[in-house]
Amino acid sequence: MQIISDRLTSRLKIRYLVLILQISKQGSLTRAADALGFSQPAASKALKDIEEIFGSPLFSRSPSGLTPTPLGELALRRARHMLRDMDNWGRETEAVLAGHTAHLNVGAIPSVSGRLLSRAIQEIYTLHQVTISLHRATSDQLVKLMRQRELDCMIGRATVIEADDKLGQEVLYSQRPVLIANVELVTRLEKENISLKTLAAMDWILPSFATPTGKMITGIFIKANVPPPFPKIETYSADVIEDVLQTSVSFLSLVAEDIAADICRNRKIALLPYQFEERLPPISLITQRREAVIPAEESFADILKRVCLDFVRV
């Protein structure tokens, strides 16, 4: 009797994976066939072939349409991973054909300086001809993409990694939180006795309370028995923060020190002289745990660590 792994190797086709994902999305074989441009008989035969390979139905009928069986859920999960790997393979192939050595999908949280990232990306290409696709999002969003294998690595906070995640991590540097505001507001506040109670009553730009920065600032105020500020603008975008602060004399924001250095290059914005004892969770390089090392990833990690060290010294 032919075992399932042999049937998968000899009979599974890429279009079968695309079909079962579309069936799951549409809840209907007919709609899935229409979406993919398959005839109904061809789609029915393909689904029959797939289920013969696995030896059991992948979908069951319900009032809401076709729903995955437990075996179907497994097949869908594996299909997503395989198609993502195919997509990455295609990008890497295009990079090599264009004269580059490899291509990496890298994630970075907004609290990582754009200057740091630009230098690392420029160096990996100059030294190794490796191209980079950069994805900006929060740590939890990027870790989700890592789990789905849409990213090769990410630069973020490891506090969101779960015990069963097959991810490696290495601390790159620590970050100190600082307050920034319009120069006029900073000048006025410098003449006053700044307290958390004073700050809590002001207009704030903050990231979501679910982010490490949001959680940290909530903890700071609660520890001091002061109601935490509720942000009038909730964002982690450095561009938005800079745009608001340069035009408004009522807002302030808490950001990582290196991000503040980037934003304060705009002379209309300055640091508020208030020191926090707390530190943000460190910035880490989070990687996929692989059976074999990928040279491009290893080279990028080495360059990133060196660039981070230079930034910390500055």
* 10-residue mean pLDDT series, the chain (314 residues): 76 89 91 90 90 90 88 89 81 73 90 94 93 91 89 90 83 93 94 88 91 87 92 92 94 94 94 90 91 86 93 68
Burial class of residue 98, CB neighbours in 10 A (0-12, 13-18, 19+):
exposed
Pairing, β 153-157 against β 102-108: parallel
Q: What is the pLDDT of residue 58?
A: 92
Do the beta carbons of residue 253 and residue 206 sit within 8 Å? yes
Q: What is the pLDDT of residue 8?
A: 83
Give the Å distances, CA to CA, from 224 to 90, 169, 194, 200, 228: 54, 33, 14, 11, 10
Q: What is the pLDDT of residue 2?
A: 58
CATH superfamily for domain 177-278? Periplasmic binding protein-like II (3.40.190.10)
CATH code for residues 4-79: 1.10.10.10
50: which 2 tokens?
A: 């797939």
Residues 182, 109: Cα–Cα separation, whole Å: 24
Per-domain residue ranges of the chain: 4-79, 100-166+284-313, 177-278
Domain 100-166+284-313 fold is: D-Maltodextrin-Binding Protein; domain 2 (3.40.190)
Q: What is the pLDDT of residue 1?
A: 47
Q: What is the pLDDT of residue 210?
A: 83
Do 177-278 and 4-79 have the same topology in CATH?
Answer: no
